[in-house]
């Protein structure tokens, strides 16, 4: 209801965000940490912060998200959180017995200046970290960046803490999948395995946040990259990282630290981006693309051909994570749809440049904003509407207010179930995305058609 009062007049806002198109860094860091086998994420801050991070991930994945917290009170806020973190490390290893604690900071611990690296060293010296166990950390203040930034920082921490080079290369490649769903990670790995490549994917939340119902709860599910695998990444033949914002830093640090050459690609969403990923795998494998992959690509092309008439010339508004929006915009342009409004809550000039390059031949004016919010996107839509909106759950309010077909995509999705089991990357994921897009368009056509045009066959 409040959205009906969104003004048409757009004013520049630098100190105020309304309906942010992002969540905070610790959520992304916690998600990345869950991609390590036997890892318990730990929020170094107040209990309320940890509850928010856990609840957001739990509501998105419909799985119980476990995490520790330093439970700051007024005393820790004044005197620092060292005593709290030392006690937490001791309690967690004693009671829950994880292989690893991944500490991420919060606004409060960052503002008071806690030195987490020094605290973890003291914990080791005091015997609070058992032999063979590990504590890593990432700096993730919520007042900088977004959940994508937090994911990137925790992924980079995995490299800093674990990657080692023995000087003897292993016949494997590293895959850094970016901020995507567990089934996307499965699909990225499956395509590499079809090329007969041995891989180490990190982080890897497949099997952790989309595992089967067995009737028995396991705090540490069988999925996730193992610590020995993380250590071995320094001896890999190369690294393929997907998504500049979420994966680029970790790939470059691994290159600098262990001399593992890296290639940073867009997320393999849609035809061209998946082609580039397959080509990178082909070069790593030194072999031809197998028939199975070519078959799937042909299926995607066939669906594009069949559906293209319904996509042609449609205007789309997008909001979400930068890596996803870049790849998704390219896919939409390839099927003759035009992203005209694109917003991400994650700051960065690269994003605006990439979107403008992708849409340079658009017949419509294109508006793009990095560090923008859903309020701005809604203003754009109210001034001139679009044919389709693609955004996370919060986009449903704009879609309802402006009566626009809507597809839920990205993070978080709080009001639907199933997105954590079906990929949107690769050729198979592209087919699923196309089906969702066409369903939304034709459902609207059916709704608005008069009886004489309400056809059984489109």
Cα 302 to chain centroid, rounded: 29
Kindly report the number of other CB atoms within 10 A of residue 331's CB atom.
Answer: 25
Please check whether residue 20 lies inside any domain of the structure.
Answer: no
pLDDT at 458: 67
Domain identity same for 445 and 390: yes
What percentage of the chain has pLDDT greater than the value 70? Answer: 99
Tens digits of residue pLDDT in 331-362? 999 999 999 999 999 998 899 999 999 999 99
> Which run of H or E residues covers position 297?
helix 291-311
CATH number of the domain to which 116 belongs: 3.40.50.1980
Task: With a cut of 70, say whether residue 56 has pLDDT above it.
Answer: yes
Q: Is residue 32 part of a domain?
A: yes
If asked whether residues 333 and 426 sit together in one domain, one would say: yes
pLDDT at residue 76 tops 80 = no
- Say whether pLDDT at 12 is over 70: yes
- Do residue 314 and residue 442 come from a single domain? yes
> Is residue 136 located within the same domain as residue 187?
no
Same domain, 210 and 332: no
Q: Are 225 and 180 found together in one domain?
A: yes
Return the pLDDT at 4: 77
Domain of 116 in residue numbering reads as 25-161
**Domains contained in the chain, number:** 3
Per the domain annotation, does 3 fall within a domain? Answer: no
Pair (155, 100) in one structural domain:
yes
2 domain residue, yes or no: no
pLDDT tens string 184-198: 999 999 999 999 999
Ranking 12-21, 142-151, 377-386 by mean pLDDT, the lowest is 12-21
Mean pLDDT of the region 86-90 = 96
Query: Does residue 9 belong to any structural domain of this protein?
Result: no
Q: Which of 132, 161, 190 is the last residue of a domain?
A: 161
Asked whether residue 273 falls in the same domain as residue 327, the answer is no
Identify the domain boundary among 161, 181, 198. 161
Q: Do 153 and 35 have their domain in common?
A: yes
The whole-angstrom distance between residue 75's C-alpha and the CA centroid of its chain comes to: 35
Same domain, 143 and 189: no
pLDDT tens column, 392-409 = 999 999 999 999 999 999
Domain closes at, from 95, 128, 161: 161
287 and 325: one domain? no
If asked whether residues 129 and 187 sit together in one domain, one would say no
Give mean pLDDT, residues 286-299: 96
Could you tell me which of 45, 59, 39 has the C-alpha nearest to residue 104? Answer: 45
Q: How many CB atoms lie within 10 A of CB 52?
A: 18
3-state helix, strand, coil in the chain (%, to 5): 50, 15, 40
Note whether residue 372 is domain-resident.
yes
Which residues contact residue 286 at a Cβ distance below 8 angstroms, ignoring those fewer than 6 apart? none
Residue 456 has pLDDT above 90, yes or no: no
Q: Above 60 in pLDDT, residue 298?
A: yes
Cα–Cα distance measured from residue 33 to residue 386, given in angstroms and rounded to the nearest whole number: 38
Assigned domain for 102 exists: yes
Q: Would 78 be classed as within a structural domain?
A: yes
């Amino acid at each position: 209801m409040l959205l009906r009062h969104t003004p048409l007049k757009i004013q520049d806002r630098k100190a105020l965000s309304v309906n942010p198109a992002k969540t905070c860094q610790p959520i992304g860091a916690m998600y990345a940490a869950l991609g390590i086998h036997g890892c318990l994420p730990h929020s170094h801050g107040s209990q309320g912060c940890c509850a928010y991070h856990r609840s957001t991930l739990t509501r998105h994945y419909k799985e119980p998200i476990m995490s520790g917290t330093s439970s700051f009170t007024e005393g820790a806020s004044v005197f620092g959180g060292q005593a709290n973190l030392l006690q937490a490390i001791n309690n967690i290893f004693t009671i829950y017995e994880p292989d690893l604690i991944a500490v991420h900071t919060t606004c409060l611990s960052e503002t008071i200046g806690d030195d987490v690296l020094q605290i973890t060293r003291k914990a080791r010296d005091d015997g609070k970290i058992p032999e063979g166990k590990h504590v890593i950390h990432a700096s993730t203040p919520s007042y900088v960046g977004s959940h994508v930034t937090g994911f990137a920082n925790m992924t980079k921490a995995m490299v800093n803490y674990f990657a080692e080079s023995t000087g003897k290369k292993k016949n494997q490649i590293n895959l850094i999948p970016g901020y995507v769903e567990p089934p996307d990670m499965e699909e990225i790995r499956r395509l590499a395995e079809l090329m007969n490549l041995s891989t180490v994917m990190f982080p890897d939340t497949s099997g952790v946040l989309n595992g089967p119902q067995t009737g028995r709860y396991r705090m540490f599910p069988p999925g996730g990259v193992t610590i020995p695998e993380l250590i071995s990444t320094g001896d890999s033949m190369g690294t393929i990282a997907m998504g500049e914002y979420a994966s680029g830093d970790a790939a470059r640090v691994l290159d600098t630290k262990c001399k593992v050459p890296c290639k940073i690609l867009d997320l393999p969403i849609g035809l061209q981006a998946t082609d580039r990923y397959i080509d990178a795998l082909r070069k790593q494998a030194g072999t031809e693309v197998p028939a199975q992959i070519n078959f799937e690509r042909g299926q995607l092309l066939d669906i594009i051909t069949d559906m293209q008439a319904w996509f042609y010339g449609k205007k789309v508004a997008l909001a979400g994570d930068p890596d996803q929006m870049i790849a998704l915009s390219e896919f939409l342009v390839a099927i003759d749809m035009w992203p005209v409004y694109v917003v991400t809550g994650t700051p960065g000039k690269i994003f605006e440049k990439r979107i403008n390059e992708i849409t340079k031949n658009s017949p419509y004016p294109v508006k793009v904003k990095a560090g923008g919010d859903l309020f701005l996107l809604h203003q754009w839509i109210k001034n001139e509407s679009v044919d389709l909106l693609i955004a996370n759950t919060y986009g449903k309010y704009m879609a309802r207010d402006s009566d626009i077909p809507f597809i839920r995509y990205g993070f978080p999705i709080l009001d639907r179930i199933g997105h954590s089991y079906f990929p949107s990357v690769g050729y198979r994921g592209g087919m699923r995305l196309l089906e969702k897009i066409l369903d939304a368009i034709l459902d609207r056509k059916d709704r608005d058609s008069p009886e004489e045009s309400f056809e059984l066959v489109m």
